[in-house]
Chain A
Amino acid sequence: MPLTVEVDPGTHTIRIERDGYFTIQFDVTVEAGKTYNISRTLIPENAFTIVSITSTPTEPAEGEEVTLTVTVRNNTGQARDCKVSITQPDLDFSQEVTIPNVLPGAPGLGTVKFAAPASGRYDFKVKAMVYVEEHVDGAGWYVTDEKTFTLEVSPKKATLVITTTPPGARIFVDGNFVGMS
Chain B
Amino acid sequence: MEVLEVEILDATLSLRTPECKGRHYWHVDAKIRVKYRVPPYTKAFYYVCYEVNQFFGTVHNASNYELDQIPFDNLYSGEERIEERTIDVHFGGDFTTVPWLSNWSPRDFDVHVKIGARDGWKVVWDEVTFKCHYESCSFTIKEVIGLKASLTISTTPTGVRVFIDENYIGVT
Residues of A bordering B, CB below 8 Å: 1-9, 12-18, 21, 28, 30-42
Contacts and interface: CB of A to CB of B under 8 A. Distances in A.
Given A6-B33, A7-B148, A32-B147, A37 B154 contact: yes
Given A13-B166, A14-B163, A34 B149 contact: yes
Most chain A beta-carbon contacts within 10 A, residue among B7, B162, B170, B172: B162
| Interface of chain B, main secondary structure | strand
Kindly name the residue among A8, A12, A18, A37 whose own CB sees the greatest number of chain B CB atoms within 10 A.
A18
B153 interface: yes
B9 interface: yes
B10, B150, B163 — most chain A CB neighbours (10 Å): B150
A5 B169 contact: yes
Interface of B: 7, 9-11, 33, 144, 146-166, 169-172
A37 B146 CA distance: 21
Given A12-B165, A32-B144, A33-B11, A4 B151 contact: yes
B155 A42 contact: yes
A18 B144 contact: no
Contact of B152 (A3, A15, A33): A3
Given A3-B172, A6-B33, A18 B161 contact: yes
